[in-house]
């Protein structure tokens, strides 16, 4: 089962494509710290839907420049004046459903944080299953410091990674955390020298792209909802998933490859 190809597309500081089973979404507005304003939020929404509609085996989120995403575009907020509430609604109305879809996507999602993240950039960065960071990466929530509150899933994804109490403290205090502190807390999964981040992300993406898509989807579904289920309900879901998986061509190929001591070649069947 092959993903559809989506040609390289650039709109309002967001670039996306799907090629050879890998969907890539790049924040490409470095002159504005890859901030998400009205146009960028709509472009990011289009990018997410276009990439996921193509059903790639893995999705990679990355940024250009020295900052992954500073969050919302403060200059647009200032220009909006008393109409900031209307602007915020127009930004979030399409973006939140897209973030939800990306956060619940059946395929693995990887984010490569080339620099600082803040505000809405936290949600975009941490919606991924694997979060890789450059050594120069920093996190600062920032919302409370300017009288606002979290959006784009920032509070959800940060709480899921480090617990609600610790996340609450980070949002209230807006202290800056460097990459090593983020790693120690579990906010990111690995830290690489800046020059090696892109290569590490690409290597992980290729490894994930070689996995059986059905297995990846079932793993995500099982782990994401485990805390909300009883043991009995979870065991029943595991049973159903394994029985379904055992009927697939990918399972037969994986078992044959194991016995033959070779790398499996999964085709999504």
Question: Which CATH number is 168's domain given?
Answer: 3.90.226.10
Q: Identify whether residues 20 and 121 lie together within a single domain.
A: yes
What was the pLDDT predicted at 268?
Answer: 84
Question: Structural domain of residue 89, as residue ranges?
Answer: 6-209
Q: Identify whether residues 167 and 73 lie together within a single domain.
A: yes
pLDDT tens, position by position, for the chain (269 residues)?
678 898 999 999 999 999 999 999 999 999 999 999 999 999 999 999 999 999 999 999 999 999 999 999 999 999 999 999 999 999 999 999 999 999 999 999 999 999 999 999 999 999 999 999 999 999 999 999 999 999 999 999 999 999 999 999 999 999 999 999 999 999 999 999 999 999 999 999 999 999 999 999 999 999 998 999 999 999 999 999 999 999 999 999 999 999 999 999 998 87
Whether 269 is covered by a domain: the verdict is no
Whether 157 is covered by a domain: the verdict is yes
Q: Identify whether residues 59 and 172 lie together within a single domain.
A: yes
Q: Identify whether residues 202 and 256 lie together within a single domain.
A: no
Q: Identify whether residues 196 and 247 lie together within a single domain.
A: no
Q: Identify whether residues 126 and 194 lie together within a single domain.
A: yes
pTM of the model: 0.95
How many domains is the chain built from?
2
Q: Identify whether residues 143 and 170 lie together within a single domain.
A: yes
What was the pLDDT predicted at 22?
Answer: 97
From 209, 232, 252, the end of a domain falls on 209
Q: Identify whether residues 152 and 233 lie together within a single domain.
A: no
Q: Identify whether residues 235 and 139 lie together within a single domain.
A: no
What was the pLDDT predicted at 4?
Answer: 85
What was the pLDDT predicted at 1?
Answer: 60
CA dihedral 15, 135, 74, 140 (to 10 degrees): 130
Q: Identify whether residues 152 and 221 lie together within a single domain.
A: no
Whether 256 is covered by a domain: the verdict is yes
């Amino acid at each position: 089962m092959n993903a559809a190809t989506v040609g390289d597309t650039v709109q309002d500081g967001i670039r996306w494509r799907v090629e050879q089973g890998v969907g890539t979404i790049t924040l490409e507005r470095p002159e504005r710290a890859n901030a998400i304003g009205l146009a960028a939020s709509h472009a990011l929404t289009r990018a997410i839907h276009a990439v996921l509609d193509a059903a790639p085996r893995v999705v990679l989120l990355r940024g250009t420049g020295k900052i992954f995403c500073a969050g919302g575009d403060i200059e647009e907020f200032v220009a909006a004046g008393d109409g900031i509430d209307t602007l915020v609604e127009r930004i979030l109305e399409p973006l939140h459903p897209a973030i939800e879809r990306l956060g619940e996507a059946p395929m693995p999602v990887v984010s490569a944080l080339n620099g600082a993240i803040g505000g809405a950039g936290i949600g975009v960065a941490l919606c991924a299953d694997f979060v890789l960071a450059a050594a120069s990466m920093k996190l600062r929530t920032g919302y409370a410091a300017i009288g606002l509150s979290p959006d784009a899933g920032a509070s959800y994804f940060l709480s899921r990674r480090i617990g609600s109490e610790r996340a609450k403290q980070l949002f209230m205090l807006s202290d800056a955390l460097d990459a090593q502190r983020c790693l120690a807390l579990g906010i990111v999964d690995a830290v690489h020298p800046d020059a090696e981040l892109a290569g590490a992300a690409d290597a992980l993406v290729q490894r994930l792209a070689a996995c059986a898509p059905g297995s990846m989807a079932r793993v995500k579904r099982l782990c994401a909802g485990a805390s909300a289920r009883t043991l009995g309900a979870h065991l029943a879901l595991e049973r159903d998933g394994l029985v379904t998986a055992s009927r697939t061509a990918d399972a037969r190929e994986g078992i044959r490859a194991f016995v033959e001591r070779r790398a499996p070649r999964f085709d999504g069947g």
